[in-house]
Amino acid sequence: MKAIILAGGKGTRGKPYTEYFPKAMTPINGKPLIDYVVRYLKSFNFIKEIIIISDYNGLGGQIKNYYGNQKNIKFVQDSQSGTGGDLLHIEKELKKESEFLLWFVDNLCAIDIKEMRDTFKEKNSYACIATRTKRKEETGFAIVKDGIIKEFKEKPVMKLQLSECLGIYMLGKEIIQKIKKKKQKQVNLSFDILQQLSKEGKVSAYDIAEKEWIDAESPMILERNEKIVTKIIKQMGL
C-alpha cells in the first residue's frame, strides 16, 4: 500500500513562520513535523512507498533537500488543483493500488493504520475518515445555574455532539474515478467527492478513541501543547 502526504498548503494559519519555511518543516525537538509522520508511516510494514506532494518550486523545496534521495520516498509537485486534483495528478502512481492512505501533514496522531484499514474493508466503503468524539478543551468552563457559577472545570475533556474529522483518510481506487467524472479544474476531496458519497453510505469512520491528536498548524500551537505533542510522539514509538 502507498501513503500520500499532502504538504502543499500555503500555511496561512502558521504565519509569519510559514513565510520562511513550509508547515511541514515546523521544528519539533530538532526534527521537522513531516519527519515524524514519515517515520511513523514507515513503521507499518504494509506501507511500501510514501509520496509527498508539495510546491517544490517554492518553500516545499526544503522538504526535498531534507530527505535527498531516500528509498521508497517520492516527491511530486503540487498540481494547484485542490486535494482531489492532486490525487488525479498521481493517478499513474496509484494504478495498482486497491486502497491508499492520505495524510495531511499537519495532523499529528499515533493512529492505528492497520485497524483503520480493517474498518475501511469491513464497511465496504469507498473512503474511511479518522474521527474523534472527545476533545480536551484549551480554556476553562463553568457549570452555571440561574446565573450563578456552581463549579469550574479547567480544560475538561468534552464529549462532542458531532464527530470531529481528522485529516487522515483511507481511500479506495473508486475515488479516482469519482474525481475524474467531475471534469473541473479545482476538486475539493471533502466537499466535491466525499459529501455525496457519505449520502450514499460509502464513507466509514474510524474513531481514534482515547488517542491524542493535534492540528499542528503553527509552532505556537505546538509549543502551547508541548505535553500533548510529547505524548503523541511517544505513542508513535519515535
Residue 155 counted as domain residue: no
Please count the structural domains in the chain: 1
Q: What is the pLDDT of residues 64-95, one digit of tens each?
A: 999 988 889 999 999 889 999 999 999 999 99
Calpha distance 7→11 (Å, rounded): 9
Long-range contacts of the stretch 57-65 (C-beta < 8 A, 24+): 58/22, 59/18, 59/20, 59/21, 59/22, 59/25, 60/7, 60/8, 60/22, 60/24, 62/21, 62/22, 62/25, 63/7, 63/22, 63/24, 63/25, 63/32, 63/34
Q: State which residues form the domain around 223.
A: 2-134+161-235
The reply to whether 144 falls in a domain is no
pLDDT of 218 strictly over 90 = no
> What's the rounded Cα separation, in Å, for the pair 113 and 128?
11
pLDDT tens digits, residue range 137-158? 777 889 999 998 999 988 878 7
Task: Please state, for a pLDDT cut of 90, what percent of the chain lies above it.
Answer: 74
| pTM summary value | 0.90
Structural domain contains residue 145: no
CATH number at residue 64: 3.90.550.10
Evaluate if residue 4 carries a pLDDT over 90: yes
- Report if residue 146 sits inside a domain: no
Residue 156 lies inside a defined structural domain of this protein: no
**Is 151 within the bounds of a domain?**
no
In a domain, 143, yes or no: no
pLDDT, residue 113, reads: 97
Q: Average pLDDT, whole number, for the chain? A: 92
Q: Between the CA of residue 189 and those of 38, 136, 141, 162, 194, what are the distances in Å?
A: 22, 28, 35, 20, 6
Is residue 46 in some structural domain? Answer: yes
